[in-house]
Amino acid sequence: MRLVKRYFALLLGGSLAIVLAAGLLFAQVEQRSYAPATLGQLQQPPPAALTEDSVYQVSAYPLYPPELAEGEGRTETESFCSMCHSTRFITMQPPLPAATWEAEVTKMRKTLGAPIPDASAAVIIKYLQAHYTPDTRKQ
């Protein structure tokens, strides 16, 4: 009989301890004090402090159009030949024969639709032949 009593007392004590431990754990979870506290959280830096008088400026993207050779017809060439692309299309070519430049200007007008009047086209062709052929190209 004594043994049975002791057994029950142990059982009761054990159960009580388990319930107490579970209660304590639950209380901790409720308080969000369980460890590790930052599990699953993203640590982000605070946003940069901006003063009200901050000045932000975005200036023009620097473009360096290539300089065309000095000479008569340069203005026409610069204005008509930069409508669709940079004049770099001219300077990046190897020195081309005079006939090729004429064909090139004709291609831009007739095939690709460049609206260049005949008189200006003639001036441009002369200019290109005077500065961008194997004999005349300097730079």
Pick the closer one to ligand HEC by CB: 35 or 112. Answer: 112
Residues that bind ligand HEC (CB under 6 A): 80-81, 83-85, 89-90, 93, 104-105, 107-108, 112-114, 116, 124
Structure tokens at 137: 């190209």
C-beta of 85: minimal distance to ligand HEC in Å?
5
Provide, rounded to whole angstroms, the least separation between the CB of residue 96 and ligand HEC. Answer: 8
CB 92, CB 137: distance < 8 Å: no
28/75 with CB nearer ligand HEC: 75
Nearer to ligand HEC among residue 15 and residue 75 (C-beta): 75
Query: Is 120 exposed, middle or buried, given 0-12, 13-18 or 19+ CB atoms closer than 10 A?
Result: middle
* Residue whose CB is less far from ligand HEC, 69 or 105: 105
* Separation CA 1–CA 22 (nearest Å): 32
Tell me the C-alpha distance between 101 and 95, whole Å: 10
- CA pair distance 73, 93, nearest whole angstrom: 18
Six token digits for residue 111? 């095939």
In angstroms, give the least distance from the CB of 76 to ligand HEC. Answer: 8
Query: What is the smallest separation between the CB atom of 61 and ligand HEC, expressed in angstroms?
Result: 22
